[in-house]
Structure 1
């Protein structure tokens, strides 16, 4: 379904949204902080975004969808650097004070104003093509695991391994530019448990005893993330009788999968009978979230997504931007799972985690919330 109307609050947030929901996880400033002086946290995040400018400029320079990409890429780097320096001098300039949502929004706006629609398109297409060739093998390996508890553990590890593909991390962007990453090696080399937030044993127990009627999954990156991580897990939910709604970005942002791209991927995976490797996919729906950033503010999603999600009993926020940097503490009127890998030092420091640590936060809705 395509997004075409005014944005609305995500219906499964606890109400009232205006007073209880805060999208950004990290407190960048407190009421006692001087309004015209940046806090140490704001400065560290501004510097984090500054470090990413060279990789974005390089991607923009190689964009061949319009003329003068080199000059426009240089203008992007100069303009974004200037705005970040302005925010260092006065955090209330440019719509501040800054947080990860504002810093992402300004970056994407500058790129679009300069005519860059999707500077990561080529690398996304390449990674999607590679991941599609591995999809059947990954699914078959999981299907061969007879023990349901061990199978779901393998599927979850696949989500973490896939989530490493994140070109929003300057360090990871350099690794991919150099030699790429192996999905299987990533599965085997995850940091050992216990993870920084680790509700996995509770989730496995619920998995064995509970069946959700509808799950909404906010997907993250292209390539291995969505194709080898999320889709095998979604297929397993379908096999268990759960209807699945995959919510993808309206517009491109970094290497996040978009709604049109996800539709194309699903069409390639379905056979002539509408099945994905033997599993009926008629219960799989693709929704345009209305989002255009690598993070998400759930107070404004597309009405189409709100309609499809209204009766869901499980919400899954996947990826560092959607489940950790934003929405880690979001409360829902149904069961929820926040799953992602910590890929920024600043996030690791806030959580008391290791770099590349895993977050697996499962919350089962209580009776009091259901009565609201």
Structure 2
């Protein structure tokens, strides 16, 4: 089942949304900071986006849907570089001060003004095809684990491994271009527990005690992330008796999965009986989140939202959330878009910057940026989870 209803405000957000809701929780600046001078955090983020420009330019140059793509890609690189440098000189320019949402939105705006709608389309299609070919093997490996707790942990580790396919990260994009990425190898290279913040045991305990009525999963990257990470986990929730809503972006952004793409992939993975590897999918719903940026993830139960740049969701999502007993959100790295300077630390660092929070809701965080990972582990990026039963 899928949904493409009219857009309405999420009913659990305190109104008026404009004055009561803050999308970013990263401490980019404080009241005492000079409004005309970029803070160290703002400069770090601006540099992160500057470092991503070559990989975006390369993708844009080969976009077959845009005439003179190579010329327009150069214009994009120059124009976006100028804007980022202007943010450094005057953080209040271009609607600032800058945060991750604004930096993403300006980048997408420049691309779209030049006619680039989906510069990652080719690589998304290629990675989706590869992941689809591995789906049966990955599900069979998980199903072969008889111990429920170990199977659940393996599914969570698969989510982390899948999220390495994040081409918004300049360093990850470089590694992907040079060496490719193997889902199974990524699973093996994740460090052992405990992670920096690790509530997986609490989640296992809850899993064994109850079956939730509904879960909403806001999906992230195409390829291994959604197909080999999220979908096996969603399938396990379906087996557990939970109705699962997969919410995907409305418009393309980086290599994120879009709603039409997700509908097509689910259709390809179902068998002739409409099942997902033997599991009934009548309780699997696909919804349009209404988002057009890679920064929109949230953690909710009652209402706690983080890294979310949209306030309008489909009416279907709103109604589903209003009657929810569990809102499961998997936050997989789009509060950040790069592994900043530290790719040499290896894949093990990635899992060290992972966060799981469980209070009748699950948040998995796979930091692609060392600055954010460090701030999170030090408690400098605030999080809270509220239960609503």
TM-score scaled by length of structure 2: 0.86
How far, CA to CA, are the matches of 2:363 and 2:20 in structure 1? 18
How far, CA to CA, are the matches of 2:66 and 2:167 in structure 1? 22
**Residue 189 of structure 1 aligns with which residue?**
189
- 1:126 equivalent to 2:126? Answer yes
Per the TM alignment, residue 275 of structure 1 is displaced from its structure 2 partner at its CA by 0.5
CA contact (8 A) 1:104 1:294 kept: yes
Per the TM alignment, residue 299 of structure 1 is displaced from its structure 2 partner at its CA by 3.0
How far, CA to CA, are the matches of 1:2 and 1:109 in structure 2? 27
RMSD: 2.6
Per the TM alignment, residue 68 of structure 1 is displaced from its structure 2 partner at its CA by 0.3
CA contact (8 A) 2:291 2:310 kept: no
- 1:93 equivalent to 2:59? Answer no
CA contact (8 A) 1:246 1:286 kept: yes
Per the TM alignment, residue 3 of structure 1 is displaced from its structure 2 partner at its CA by 4.6
**Residue 42 of structure 1 aligns with which residue?**
42
**Which secondary structure does the structure 2 equivalent of 1:245 belong to?**
strand
Aligned with 2:313 (options 301, 314, 319): 301
- 1:335 equivalent to 2:336? Answer no
CA contact (8 A) 1:45 1:346 kept: no
Alignment of 1:302-321 (within 5 A): 302-312=314-324, 313-321=326-334
Distance 1:20 1:202, change over 3 A: farther
- 1:151 equivalent to 2:151? Answer yes
In terms of mean alpha carbon deviation, does 219-228 or 23-32 score higher?
23-32
In terms of mean alpha carbon deviation, does 304-313 or 76-85 score higher?
304-313
**Residue 269 of structure 2 aligns with which residue?**
269
How far, CA to CA, are the matches of 2:273 and 2:336 in structure 1? 34
How far, CA to CA, are the matches of 2:96 and 2:6 in structure 1? 27
CA contact (8 A) 2:142 2:154 kept: yes
CA contact (8 A) 1:235 1:279 kept: yes
**Residue 23 of structure 2 aligns with which residue?**
23
CA contact (8 A) 1:338 1:362 kept: no
How far, CA to CA, are the matches of 1:8 and 1:363 in structure 2? 21
How far, CA to CA, are the matches of 1:23 and 1:278 in structure 2? 39
CA deviation profile, 1:248-292 (whole Å, cap 9, x unmatched): 000011000000000000000111211011100010000000001
**Residue 231 of structure 1 aligns with which residue?**
231
In terms of mean alpha carbon deviation, does 78-87 or 292-301 score higher?
292-301
CA contact (8 A) 1:337 1:362 kept: no
User: What 5-or-longer segments of structure 2 have no aligned partner?
Assistant: 297-308, 339-353
**Residue 166 of structure 1 aligns with which residue?**
166
Aligned with 1:344 (options 336, 359, 369): 369
Per the TM alignment, residue 21 of structure 1 is displaced from its structure 2 partner at its CA by 3.9
CA contact (8 A) 2:290 2:314 kept: yes
How far, CA to CA, are the matches of 2:320 and 2:177 in structure 1? 38
CA contact (8 A) 1:163 1:340 kept: no
Per the TM alignment, residue 346 of structure 1 is displaced from its structure 2 partner at its CA by 2.2
CA deviation profile, 1:325-359 (whole Å, cap 9, x unmatched): 9xx99x99x83211131111221232248xxxxxx
CA contact (8 A) 1:248 1:259 kept: yes
How far, CA to CA, are the matches of 1:292 and 1:47 in structure 2? 23
**Residue 259 of structure 2 aligns with which residue?**
259
TM-score scaled by length of structure 1: 0.89
How far, CA to CA, are the matches of 1:140 and 1:13 in structure 2? 40
How far, CA to CA, are the matches of 1:307 and 1:263 in structure 2? 20
**Residue 357 of structure 1 aligns with which residue?**
none
**Which secondary structure does the structure 2 equivalent of 1:246 belong to?**
strand
Per the TM alignment, residue 298 of structure 1 is displaced from its structure 2 partner at its CA by 4.9
Distance 1:135 1:256, change over 3 A: same
How far, CA to CA, are the matches of 1:286 and 1:249 in structure 2? 11
How far, CA to CA, are the matches of 1:13 and 1:279 in structure 2? 34
**Which secondary structure does the structure 1 equivalent of 2:361 belong to?**
strand
CA contact (8 A) 1:323 1:340 kept: no
Per the TM alignment, residue 203 of structure 1 is displaced from its structure 2 partner at its CA by 0.5
Per the TM alignment, residue 165 of structure 1 is displaced from its structure 2 partner at its CA by 0.5
CA contact (8 A) 1:161 1:225 kept: yes
**Which secondary structure does the structure 2 equivalent of 1:150 belong to?**
helix
